[in-house]
Amino acid sequence: MSRAPLLLVLGATGCAGRGVVEAAVAAGRAVLAVAEDAAALQALRQQYPQADLGVLAMPLRSDGDAAALAEAVRNGGRRLQAVIATIGGESASGRLLDQPAEVLRNTLDQDLLPHLVAARHLFPLLPASQHTRYLLVGGPGGGYPWAGYGHRSIAAAALRMLARVLHEEARREGIRVQLLSVDAPLRGADGDVHACAEWPQAAAVGRRALALLEREAPARGGVPAIVDYAASAALTSSKVEVASSPPIRTLPPAVRAADAALRAAPDVPARDLQDARDLLDTFRSFPHPGHRHDEHS
């Protein structure tokens, strides 16, 4: 039986988590996949019958849950080498002002607080060395409001700050904490019919996450707390410029269709036509999951 040190993947049955597991298995890593859905974990385990892949069905909603997880890992007898946390819930879209405060509270409970309790209880299991890694994976909306998902944007922005705080505090313990920020939804292997072509594949994000774990710290300057995901290897800057009026082909399908309809409607009164075009220009200025924004731009 292999005694290789473990890569712990939290939220392993979500889209990002499955991408990380796929990349880790392909790289020959020993993986312990953790999620709340036992059936989904077993399906994940059966997908890789030859891999050194263990599964652990546990909730991660409170300090008590995180303490139980840490105890289970400790009792497993395998040394923990690194953690990749892809924790996140699901929620419907809607204007923040139109929803009760409970929606935002639940989103923070699902997308933010589990990262804190997990880090608090898993840090002591990690060896204090320059090679120790704890990587969080965050979703879209953290740098700029995601229209219709304001509650998710707030949680994503809070996760960015949590990553900065953990990055500073954990350095004293010899643990490197980083956030891989993916400013777009992910496409899984199943080919979601609602996915856009420009969304990154979950497996590609998984490979990027593993690359961050393996990257050596530079001799001077250290590593950044936040790394923005770039779909192209040619994009080496953490800042990606986005035009204020993106080309029509990069707009959401509904906006592209409306724009095309306006262009084909010469009989519309000039004032109404201008009002409609002004509205479309407003839509163009909104970010959508296919675009990246730097919070300092």
The answer to whether residues 164 and 36 belong to one domain is: yes
Q: Return the number of other C-beta atoms located less than 10 Å from residue 218's C-beta.
A: 8
Report how far Cα 31 is from the mean position of its chain's Cα atoms. 19
Which pLDDT belongs to residue 196?
A: 78
User: Model-level pTM?
Assistant: 0.76
Residues 173 and 207 in one domain: yes
Neighbour count for residue 36 (Cβ, 10 Å): 14
- Asked whether residue 274 falls in the same domain as residue 223, the answer is no
Strands 30-35 and 53-57: parallel
29 and 55 together in one domain: yes
Q: Tell me the torsion sign for CA atoms 267, 270, 276, 281.
A: positive
Number of domains in the chain: 2
Burial of 95 (0-12, 13-18, 19+ CB in 10 A): exposed
262, two tokens:
């306006």
Question: Are 263 and 204 part of one and the same domain?
Answer: no
76 with 47, same domain: the answer is yes
pLDDT of residue 144: 85
- pLDDT number for residue 261: 56
Q: Is 143 helix (H, G, I), strand (E, B) or coil?
A: coil
Do 274 and 222 belong to one domain?
no
Under-70 pLDDT residues of the chain: 1-2, 129-132, 189-194, 217-221, 231-297
Please identify, among 182, 199, 228, the residue that sits at the C-terminal boundary of a domain: 228
Residue 136 covered by a domain = yes
**Same structural domain for residues 184 and 61?**
yes
Answer yes or no: is 233 within a domain: no
Distance of alpha carbon 16 from alpha carbon 8, whole angstroms: 14
Task: Quote the pLDDT of residue 39.
Answer: 97
Q: Is residue 235 part of a domain?
A: no
- In terms of domains, do 245 and 223 share one? no
Paired tokens of 146: 């995601």
CB atoms within 10 A of CB 1: 4
Domain stops at, among 169, 202, 228: 228
pLDDT of 241 reads 28
With the C-alpha atoms ordered 92, 94, 99, 102, is the resulting torsion angle positive or negative?
positive
Q: Can you give the pLDDT at residue 265?
A: 52
- Clarify whether residues 158 and 264 are in a common domain: no
Cα end-to-end span (Å), the chain: 51
pLDDT of residue 294: 37
Whether residue 157 sits in one domain with residue 93: yes
| Boundary of a domain, candidates 228, 258, 273 | 228
Clarify whether residues 183 and 247 are in a common domain: no
Q: Is there a domain that residue 43 lies in?
A: yes
> Whole domain around residue 68: which residue ranges?
6-228
